[in-house]
Amino acid sequence: MIEPTFLVSRNLEAEEVCAVFDTDDDFTSYVQFFLAAFALGSLWIKRMREVPRRDFRTWFLDVSKMGIGAAYAHIANMAIAMFISANSRAEANLDDQCAWYAMNFLIDTTLGLALSLLLLHALEVVAVRKDWETLKDTGEYSEEGSWKTWRNQVLAWVGILTVVKIILTCFLWIFSPFFAEVGDILFSPMRSSPHFELIFVMILFPGVLNVLYFWVADSYLKKKPETDEGMELRRQDRGHDDDPMVLGAMGRESNAGLLGNG
């Protein structure tokens, strides 16, 4: 997931507040691009260390699937931070959107990731039982119909992320009094230096978590090794069916059966 960039804005009382979005500063876009490139670059390094290594086409489809999900999660996390900061159940409202985003981001990359992978596994189980070809083997893209397979897997992953975001938003809102106190304690020391808070929340904190999130999610979204073994077994089975020795043995067994029946 790609984290939003943050700005230090000033309210009417000239109090410095960390906000999650500002359309007037191009610096946010530059930092966002840097963080996205950093996370995607880590996936390229992971690919180079894979055994066996995915071909570029398969890797690109896997990463683009994750990229779309990350962009969606990026927008959703910004919206959640803005919503909770304006609708917190806490008596002492915490209007620091960066603090809310950081706490939401931490929950999302831990509990949220676990829920996402659990739902992905459940979907694969259902897909196998229902024989949904495009969903039962995540990361498998046949030459024929690969676009349809990729599209369905992207929609399924975005759907899973949507369910997880709804659950986490409810969790964060219900326990917002607790998280407001935690956020105030953790981020109040940095409010005297808003630029340090900006760098910490925008680069240091989410940068490491993003790499871990991308690596773990990629390991589950790519084609599983057992899928390759299953395909090899199916190829062997098809080869045995065409083997003259096998066909001859089957014929002798059939003839013996007929003679025995006679």
Alpha helices in the chain (DSSP H): 27-48, 56-86, 97-107, 113-130, 146-174, 176-187, 194-199, 205-221, 225-241, 244-261
CA of residue 191 relative to chain centroid, distance? 31
SS3 state of residue 16: strand
Spatial distance between the Cα atoms of 39 and 42, rounded to a whole number of angstroms: 5
Answer for the pair 221, 62: CB distance below 8 angstroms, yes or no.
Answer: yes
Spatial distance between the Cα atoms of 97 and 84, rounded to a whole number of angstroms: 8
Residue 36: its pLDDT value, please? 73
Q: Using a pLDDT cut of 70, give the percent of the chain over it.
A: 68
Mean pLDDT value of segment 62-83: 85
Q: What is the pLDDT of residues 137-181, one digit of tens each?
A: 777 777 666 888 899 999 999 999 999 999 999 999 999 999 999
Reported as a pLDDT band with limits 50, 70 and 90, residue 237 is very low
Q: What is the pLDDT of residues 175-230, one digit of tens each?
A: 999 999 999 898 888 877 766 777 787 777 777 777 777 667 777 777 766 545 54
pLDDT at 99 over 70: yes
**What is the average pLDDT value for the chain, to the nearest integer?**
75
Mean pLDDT value of segment 52-64: 83
Spatial distance between the Cα atoms of 170 and 135, rounded to a whole number of angstroms: 29
Residue 15: its pLDDT value, please? 57
Residue 29: its pLDDT value, please? 67
Answer for the pair 221, 157: CB distance below 8 angstroms, yes or no.
Answer: yes
Question: Which residues make beta-bridge pairs with 18?
Answer: 8
Spatial distance between the Cα atoms of 114 and 217, rounded to a whole number of angstroms: 10
**Closest listed residue to residue 220, CA positions, set 109, 121, 129, 108:** 121
Reported as a pLDDT band with limits 50, 70 and 90, residue 94 is confident
